[in-house]
Structure 1
Amino acid sequence: MQNIKDSSIGEKPFYATAEHLEQTLGDPGAINQPGPSDGQLDKAGWPPPLSSFRESVELDEREEFPAPLYHALDTWGLQEYYVPAQYGGKLRRFDEVFTLVRSVARRDLSVAIAHSKTFLGSTPVWITGTRQQREMLSQRILNRESIALALTEEAHGGDLSATECQARKIHDHYLLSGTKWLINNATRSSTLCVMARTHVHEGPLGISLFLVEKEKLDHTSFHYLPKFKTHGVRGIDMSGITFEQSIVSEDALIGKEHHGLSPIFKTFQVTRLLRSAL
């Protein structure tokens, strides 16, 4: 029988990165035992935990954003696994980022949702965006900036075809007006993928997707909505944003005008799978 070379020989298994993250974060179950004061490994070989189940519960009860663990993940470099390798990141295979998010979620669901939201918010750009958009977004993510996906509205919930937020074309730019509600990281993010109607036709046609950089907007042309109180995961930034004639360059359009639902549905084919890691 002809020998077939195993292409996986010499490659690091997909779960090896998650094992490294587990070791870095420490044992979250060590909640009643203080870590070694000298920073040495404990008898099980784990470092002093960077977070614990007890701390996660306390933060949730205070409805406080889990900043310590969130920033620890940034320092470790989790955001690099949201960016494709060809754009300077480490995203090469889905099962690797899946196991990483699962390692975080078993410690603190709030921080897992808040941090991985950047993966969700950037995926439409990896699928349909221009090279310029991908390079810009890559730099923002690698610089530890949060990205949000602004799809839903209070009056319509998950019915994206009923989107009322409008983007009216004026020469070489759009005027963005409307409210996006119940958006994770709406306030904390630097950039959002925003779904807006670009044609008066009702239904799925006439909806477009825009990559909106907040720093490029007139600061008086948008404002945030208050944080929404949730049952569980109470520390996350679940809020909203209202645009009032915000000027957005035509270069911000993701994919084809009036065809914004297509990259979103493709995005969901990836990100819905990631939900099972939470």
Structure 2
Amino acid sequence: MSTVTDLERRFGDPWDPANPLGHRAVLAADERSEMFADGERMLDDFALNAEFVPTALGGRLTGLDRLIRVMRSVFRHDPCLGLGYGASSFIASVNVWAGGDAAQHRRLADLLLGGHKVASVYHELAHGNDFARVDFRADPGRTGELLLTGRKEVVTNARRSSAMVIFSRTSDAPGGRSHTQLFVEKDQLPPGALRYLPRFASSGMRGVQLGGIEVDRCPVGAGVALGAPGSAMEIALRSFQLTRTGLPAMTLGALDTGLRAAVRFGDDRVLRGRPVAAMPVVRGVLAESFVDLLIADCLATTVARAVHLLPEDTNVYASAVKYVVSGRAIQAMARLGEVLGAQSYLRTGEYGIFQKLSRDLAPAGFGHAARVACLATVLPQLPRLARRSWAAGQASPEDLYDHRAELPPLPFERLRIASGADPLTAQLLAAAEALPPGTGELLRELTRTFTGELARLRTAALALRPADLAIGGDPAALDLAARYTTVLTASTCLNLWLAEQGRPGTFLADQAWVTAALLRLAGELDGVHRALPASLAGPIHAELAGRYQAGRAFDLFHDTLPDRPRSRN
């Protein structure tokens, strides 16, 4: 039995009102603004924390794409569990794997495998995503000692974590070498030294224990530092390549359930003697939302695998994933809400789960790093990538687009703070030359649209001035970064479809979905919404309905789920 199958079996059918781990119980916990206790006990028994620990240290962490697949199942049932139980420890742990020494690796593995939680203590409200201005301090004390002073207002699991990874100022000098990350275990602190701040009220993720911490000259051993003094920014930028890729990809589980709710509603509601799902406009929205999920998953899964296979180049890709995937998921849920109508905002009843998922998805657009901050990370890299990669096609590394193939271990030591080249976008040019006989004219035309857009992007990127790349520069430059992410996404969709030609007869090998995907993405280039023609919407909706009836996930992996569609009366 696969890990995902085992986890889904433990969750059971979420639509069954008698299921103690189903939607009804999840909604009840949300109404109380509590973490879903029964769900946490199940995840304790499942040992979810082992998914964040490399196999060399006794855990189950092999590939980032596999971790996403497991965590997507948790987010599918309850995003609060996904973040509050699991992803918060994942965010903290990758910094230790990327920057810590062997003893710190072993200690973190022991904590996680023992069922403990680790908090990532980064943000300060006064500075937001600008970590270079963080004020929380770690000053020298007695020999072999640091004194911690400051406050962090927004920390997931501030109270119930056993250890913290704290982004701290260790120098007043300007520049990127003024901060150090600290791996601090709470039971090593003097009694009463750590004060907890109240939780902020929030509309989404209401069960997640968000709070803050405050300390004043709290002593810790100098050995808590991760890496050399002043290395915090470098470690964070390397770690972001996993978290900015992983977290948005995990939240697609919530979109899966939102889409499932809309399909269920369309089958259930009858208008003028026919199911709502029989209306062409409704089928069109459902088909487009399904394509949006596939688009987001193409980019996210490809980049997750690239972290293993192309680690020197994934910095820009991770920021693109955060920008594209979170935005696409939020927009798709909003459109699905139009299908459900009034049911989309009711907090109880069979479809009450939809409004919770919509609220919980919203933080995916700004939590951990705002989407515009991700574009600001992409923008300065464009001229270099344009010079090095966008003029000629490039073949894909073996196994990049085959999610069935095993990956080498995560190469934390090879991750870079800026991308050296851009092979994924360059693969668009190679894909355009490799279109097989029988490729439809619309797909060929769309491919030409994106290769032409890449050429225009190259010209514009090479013309950017230094002032355009700085914060506060020309807003049109950020639009250039956004257009780049659209072309990059199109490249991953087209190349995944080409890779699937070796498995003819499968849905992912069919032209319908990739043509629809590029059509949707082309609309983002010119701001024109293009409804899917019936020739595309029909087979795509048929695949969606077939997966729904068979209890299969809507993403690339189409795992077997325990959901049982209700029989129509």
> What's the TM-score once normalised by structure 1's chain length?
0.86
Output aligned runs, 1:127-138, within 5 Å.
127-138=98-109
- Size of the aligned set, in residue pairs, is 248
Per the TM alignment, residue 120 of structure 1 is displaced from its structure 2 partner at its CA by: 1.1
Identity of aligned pairs, percent?
29
1:58 alignment counterpart: 28
Per the TM alignment, residue 267 of structure 1 is displaced from its structure 2 partner at its CA by: 1.1
Contact 1:197 1:208 in 2 (8 A): yes
Task: State the distance in 1 between where 2:10 and 2:24 align.
Answer: 18
1:243 aligns with 2:215: yes
Task: State the distance in 1 between where 2:183 and 2:6 align.
Answer: 33
Amino acid at match of 2:146: Y
Q: What is the SS of the residue equivalent to 1:127?
A: helix
Contact 1:85 1:91 in 2 (8 A): yes
Contact 2:167 2:232 in 1 (8 A): yes
Contact 1:162 1:203 in 2 (8 A): no
Task: State the distance in 1 between where 2:85 and 2:20 align.
Answer: 16
Contact 1:178 1:244 in 2 (8 A): yes
Per the TM alignment, residue 50 of structure 1 is displaced from its structure 2 partner at its CA by: 4.6
Q: Return 199-208 or 96-105, whichever deviates more.
A: 199-208
What are structure 1's unaligned runs of at least 5 residues?
1-11, 35-48
Determine which of 46, 49, 52 is the counterpart of 1:76. Answer: 46
Q: What is the SS of the residue equivalent to 1:113?
A: helix
Task: State the distance in 2 between where 1:17 and 1:65 align.
Answer: 23
Per the TM alignment, residue 204 of structure 1 is displaced from its structure 2 partner at its CA by: 2.7
Determine which of 238, 246, 260 is the counterpart of 1:274. Answer: 246
Contact 2:10 2:42 in 1 (8 A): no
Determine which of 134, 145, 152 is the counterpart of 1:163. Answer: 134
Task: State the distance in 1 between where 2:169 and 2:47 align.
Answer: 36
1:25 aligns with 2:16: no
Moved over 3 A (4+): none
Greater Cα radius of gyration, structure 1 or 2: 2
Contact 2:80 2:206 in 1 (8 A): yes
Task: Please list the CA deviations of residues 108-150 of structure 1 after superposition, one character each: whole Å capped at 9, or x if unmatched.
Answer: 1101111221111111111110110011111111110000100
Q: What is the SS of the residue equivalent to 2:192?
A: helix
Determine which of 235, 239, 255 is the counterpart of 1:263. Answer: 235
Determine which of 234, 249, 253 is the counterpart of 2:206. Answer: 234
Contact 1:182 1:240 in 2 (8 A): yes
Output aligned runs, 1:124-203, within 5 Å.
124-170=95-141, 171-203=143-175
2:443 alignment counterpart: none
Per the TM alignment, residue 181 of structure 1 is displaced from its structure 2 partner at its CA by: 1.4
Task: State the distance in 2 between where 1:192 and 1:202 align.
Answer: 25
1:208 alignment counterpart: 180
Contact 1:162 1:202 in 2 (8 A): no
Determine which of 92, 95, 104 is the counterpart of 1:121. Answer: 92
Q: What is the SS of the residue equivalent to 2:90?
A: helix
Q: Return 185-194 or 17-26, whichever deviates more.
A: 17-26
- Between Structure 1 and Structure 2, the one with more helix by share is 2
Per the TM alignment, residue 105 of structure 1 is displaced from its structure 2 partner at its CA by: 0.5
1:67 aligns with 2:37: yes
Task: Please list the CA deviations of residues 160-213 of structure 1 after superposition, one character each: whole Å capped at 9, or x if unmatched.
Answer: 111000000122110011001111111110100001100012443210000010
CA-atom RMSD in angstroms: 1.3
Amino acid at match of 1:186: A
1:219 alignment counterpart: 191
Q: What is the SS of the residue equivalent to 1:265?
A: helix
